[in-house]
Amino acid sequence: MQMNRKILVSYDGSNRSKKAIKEAKNQASITEKAEVHVISVVTPGIKSNETAIAGNISMADAEFLLPELHQIKKEMEASGIVTITEIRTDFSQRNPGRAICEYALANEIDLIIVGNRGLSNIKSLLLGSVSNTIVQNAKCPVLIVK
């Protein structure tokens, strides 16, 4: 059993990110002292209908995520897991994966957990992939949940 562990989960409200939350809870439960960071990266100026293509969260969508983040924190802390939730704004409008990696580095995260969209190799190349960006740029281990 690992003594101290900081786990970061990228959350966008999708089913795949909900699976990542569940896995973070599982990982935290096998750690003596875990801290789970749940972040959503928001891109101002992007329209809600563009988010699926870009992999970003619009400001309008972020308002709907706030109650979900509060509920996640409440459920995790009821299980004795220290939980930090945050919505981060990425004004550069790049792939949110880079903002997630920067957060992980700044907060000394030990493990990043993300959901996989399940796109084929060709589609992920055409659309860009948040999880792929994280895998390529993270300085810590990354767990991709299907």
Domain of residue 120, CATH code: 3.40.50.620
Q: Is the dihedral of CA 51, 77, 82, 26 positive or negative?
A: negative
Structural domain of residue 50, as residue ranges? 2-145
pTM here is 0.83
Task: State how far the Cα of 143 lies from the Cα of 9, in Å rounded to an integer.
Answer: 10
Question: Is 110 buried (19+), middle (13-18) or exposed (0-12) by CB count in 10 A?
Answer: middle
| Rg, C-alpha atoms of the chain | 14
User: 10 Å Cβ neighbour count for 144?
Assistant: 17
Looking at the structure of the chain, the number of domains it has is 1
Going by C-beta distance under 8 Å and a sequence separation of 6 or more, which residues neighbour residue 49? none
| pLDDT tens sequence for the chain (146 residues) | 556 899 999 998 889 899 999 999 999 999 888 999 999 887 765 554 444 434 456 566 667 788 999 999 999 999 999 999 988 877 666 678 899 999 999 999 999 999 886 555 555 444 447 888 899 999 999 999 98
